[in-house]
Structure 1
């Protein structure tokens, strides 16, 4: 459990040219308070 101001961050690193796939089999956030942000590479990758 996270507090009201809690934050959970994951950093996934890969070598240039490698591919990273994120697969969610179950995902739940709190109404009005939770969010998911995924940032890509520069330039942006295909999403």
Structure 2
């Protein structure tokens, strides 16, 4: 899996993101979802956050 090839779970989540959305992906896990959506021009902007302790 990478930003060009999402898992089935992230593909399902991506279907719920409205076109031209501003997206916040908290617990982003490498930002695969927001990067994929941006590469495919599905979102306007994204913030991806991850906390590693």
Same fold, judged at TM 0.5 (above): no
Taking CA–CA contacts closer than 8 Å with sequence separation of 6 or more, which of the two structures ends up with the larger relative contact order? 2
TM-score in terms of structure 1 length: 0.33
Higher helix share: 2
Higher strand share: 2
TM-score in terms of structure 2 length: 0.31
Report the structure number with the largest CA radius of gyration. Answer: 1
